[in-house]
Amino acid sequence: MAVFAGPIQDLVDELGRLPGIGPRSAQRIAFYLLETDKESALRLAQAIAEVKDRTVIIVDDLISTGTTIMRAAKACREKGAQRIYVAASHGVFNTKANEVIADPVFDRVIITDSVPPFRLRADVLRDKLVVLESAALFAGAIERLHKGGSLVELLEV
């Protein structure tokens, strides 16, 4: 379904065909490219295309089936990526995710403990998954909001 007119929709459609790029991301990238100078647009295109002999980090908000990250990871491996790590805020993991996450295309998958990964098999948890604790971050945010503190300071490293 076309949302924009002519060449803009063509650009969005082409970007949407890239592995791991959903419709909203395609729109954001298209408008970024339209608003930026030619040199910056070329740098972005090179970053997407040049992964040979590099470590790739795929970032997503959540993982359910894992098919989106699988498509992106396989495309990166085909382009010669050496290592592939995935980082996501939430690992929802339906039952299909066991096979996807266990695939050798991923070196590690990193999530927070916001959703316990109880649907994953023990071998997948042990071999592929890194779970980061988030309770202290949430507690700090709640405390700062309650006391009128700064959330920006909480996120500074």
Whole-number pLDDT of residue 99: 94
pLDDT over 60 (residue 68) = yes
Q: Which residue has the higher pLDDT, 108 or 76?
A: 108
Whole-number pLDDT of residue 10: 76
DSSP-assigned states of every residue in 57-84: EEEEEEESS-HHHHHHHHHHHHTT-SEE
Q: What is the pTM of this model?
A: 0.69
**What's the number of domains the chain is made of?**
2
DSSP helix/strand/coil, 86? strand
What contacts 48, CB < 8 A, 6 or more positions away?
18
Look at residue 137 and tell me if it is in a domain: no
DSSP helix/strand/coil, 37? coil
What contacts 77, CB < 8 A, 6 or more positions away?
84, 105
Would you say 55 and 85 are in contact if contact means Cβ atoms under 8 Å apart?
A: yes
Which of 51, 53, 54 lies closest to 20, judged by CA?
51
Q: Which of 49, 64, 87 is the last residue of a domain?
A: 49
Whole-number pLDDT of residue 44: 66
CATH number for the domain including 9?
A: 1.10.8.420
Look at residue 100 and tell me if it is in a domain: yes
Look at residue 105 and tell me if it is in a domain: yes
